[in-house]
Amino acid sequence: MTSEDRPPPRGEDAWKATKQRIAKRNEAAYARAREERAERDAADRARRLAAERREFAKLPRQPVRSPDAPRA
DSSP label of 69 = S
What is the spatial distance between Cα 41 and Cα 33, in angstroms, rounded to a whole number?
Answer: 12
What totals of helices (H) and strands (E) does the chain contain, helices first?
A: 1, 0
Domain limits, the chain: 30-58
Give the pLDDT confidence of 19-55 residue by residue, as tens digits. Answer: 999 999 999 999 999 999 999 999 999 999 999 999 9
pTM exceeds cut of 0.85: no
Looking at residue 65, its pLDDT comes to: 79
